[in-house]
Chains A and B, each alone.
Chain A
Amino acid sequence: MKISKLLLAAISQIMFVSAMAQYDASLVEYKSSSIAGETYSVIKMSRKGERVKVKYFAANAPDGSLVYERYQKWASNKNVIAVSSGTYMTDCNARKALPVGFCVDNGTIVNRQEKNGLDGLAVVYATGGIVASNIKDGNLSVKIDGQNATLDIRNAFDRERFLKWAQGESATVFQTHLFVYKNQLKLGTNSSPNLASRRFLAVCKDEDGYVVHYIINLPKEATIYQGSDKAFKILKDAEYVQDVVFMINLDTGCQNVFSLFDSKGNKVANKNFAGDTDITNASNLIVYYYE
């Protein structure tokens, strides 16, 4: 009798804990480590079963709500895993800043400018997936009126077709630096010499072909080339990733927002999983959540 009571209590305790859990811990791993004496942190999120999803808040809402307000309202009933600033911003003041480069938020045009030098075009789907393509390759595939179309958005006419597609599909699109594409480091040593802490989003495939997302945070100041080279090496040599589909930049400039939550929904206190800017100063946010 006593044993059955104990068992029941244990089961109810497990059920209570799992009901409290924000996400399935087997899909999300995080660690803080060091390579060549330099500290870095990695969040690894598996898209197996498509339970881990991405959401992008590209700009303030048309009603004037700021990005962080949009995020907080949305997150009130979501199991958030991690949140980070997204692409570069046009101004340090989040109230008037827009994302740098071409951007569409849920079908609403945020920035029409195709920014020179930012080769990555990321498309965030309502289903929680994200893909990025290399603008320089000129082979962006979309379905227009039920037909597959390959667009070169460097060409004005194709860019217009893409814009109309994004509006029609209520897609979220943003332009960013593309550092790795199809296992190739795209940056040259002659890139910007500015020193800053760096953060990257890499989408990879594991040995079983499942999509795995990584956020790699490098708190130590580095040039953009040094940072992306280090992050690529971490993926290859420390995470043993075979296939890096793409790796894009996450902003750590005027907006350096970064937070990680454990599987119980508590904010991880380790400073290697934290940015130094308050979320109220975010101009755009990329959020990982569990559903």
Chain B
Amino acid sequence: MRKKLTWLVPLVCISAVVFVFITSAGYDEKIAQEKPIVPHQYSIRLLLDGITNEHLLEQFPYGRYLDSANIQDIQSIKNDLAVLNEKFPGDSMRNMQLISIALTDSLYAQYEKKHYFQIFDADFLTQLFQWAEKFNAYAEIEQSNTLLYGSIYNYWGSKISNHLGELSKNNSSLKYEYKFKYLKSKCDEKRFSVATKVGQVEKVAYNLLSSQWSHLLNASWNQATYMQLVVFFVFGILTIYGYLLIIKKIIKRNENQ
């Protein structure tokens, strides 16, 4: 009875740890759907009053533009660019840059205020990626605005993949969550490669599986603390001593026979 209990206690403890780990991982597989495009009336013209051509990039009210513009609708964005080109002709590149700043750095600043980039909000990130990736297609179709569309696409792809990398650094179990893996796969597919933190145990497992013995030995030796080396040596000596005792006993028994 006592022997049974001795085995039961560690088994229950390990099961409890595994249970906590399994239940704390996110298994929700419901992916956020694309946001619908809802048309609404507004005009960028109202925001351009009093702004001079020379100081357009500095004076433009990016925050007010984002509050009123329909950034989900590409036609609406194109209309805004057309108005800018009409009002400030001669520098279409600069006008494109203005829309690019609004839909990248300014939009990011708004999300930052709402703390979206301080936590793992999978639905928000998924919908943001869905919106951003459309710009890649627009860039391929509409060559004249390829710099504008490409800049938006690459900016958000970079931001999201960097955010995922940072999150996995702070919470290594996050990379096993379904929604995280979904977003990481999307980023990787589009070549915004997410560098997730590879833990020491994972590195050891990888090197064992791929038979990287010299690297494994070198890294283990170099990274071990003095205490670990002492423990390793003591353990090694005890093991050898144990084997010696066994061999000695076998020899003695054979001699007695």
Q: A residues touching B (Cβ–Cβ < 8 Å)?
A: 88, 90-93, 98, 100, 109-116, 155-157, 159-161, 163-164, 195-197, 220-221, 254, 256, 276-278, 281
Contact = CB atoms under 8 A, between A and B. Distances in A.
A91 B188 CA distance: 12
Contacts of B127: none
Given A88-B195, A161-B147, A254-B203, A114 B158 contact: yes
Interface stretch (B27-35, B81-89, B211-219): B211-219
A164 B215 contact: no
Contacts of B147: 157, 160-161, 164
B206 A93 contact: yes
B126 interface: no
Contacts of B70: none
A160 B212 contact: no
B215 A115 contact: no
Name the prevailing secondary structure of the B interface residues.
helix
A194 B219 CA distance: 12
A240 B48 CA distance: 59
A164 B100 CA distance: 16
Given A92-B198, A195-B222, A281-B210, 5 more contacts: A88-B195, A90-B196, A92-B202, A164-B150, A276-B219
Contact of B214 (A163, A197, A276): A276
B109 to A, nearest CB: 13
Contacts of A254: 198, 203, 206
A112 B151 contact: no
Interface of B: 96-97, 100-101, 104-105, 146-148, 150-152, 154-155, 157-158, 161-162, 165-166, 187, 190-196, 198, 202-203, 206-207, 210, 212, 214-215, 218-219, 222-223
Minimum-distance CB pairs A-B, first 3:
A156-B155, A160-B151, A156-B151
Contacts, number: 97
Given A91-B198, A197-B222, A277-B212, A113 B151 contact: no
A112 B215 contact: no
A91 B199 CA distance: 11
17 contacts: A91-B198, A92-B207, A93-B210, A111-B192, A111-B193, A114-B158, A115-B162, A156-B104, A156-B151, A157-B100, A159-B154, A160-B147, A160-B154, A161-B147, A196-B223, A197-B222, A254-B206
B167 to A, nearest CB: 13
Contact of A112 (B157, B198, B214, B219): B157
A159 B105 CA distance: 13
Residue from A90, A100, A110, A197 whose CB has the most chain B CB atoms within 10 Å: A90
A130 to B, nearest CB: 22
Nearest to B98: A157
A196 B190 CA distance: 32
A254 B198 CA distance: 10
A93 B147 CA distance: 34
A98 B193 contact: yes
Nearest to A117: B162
A256 B155 CA distance: 32
A112 B101 contact: no
A88 B190 CA distance: 19
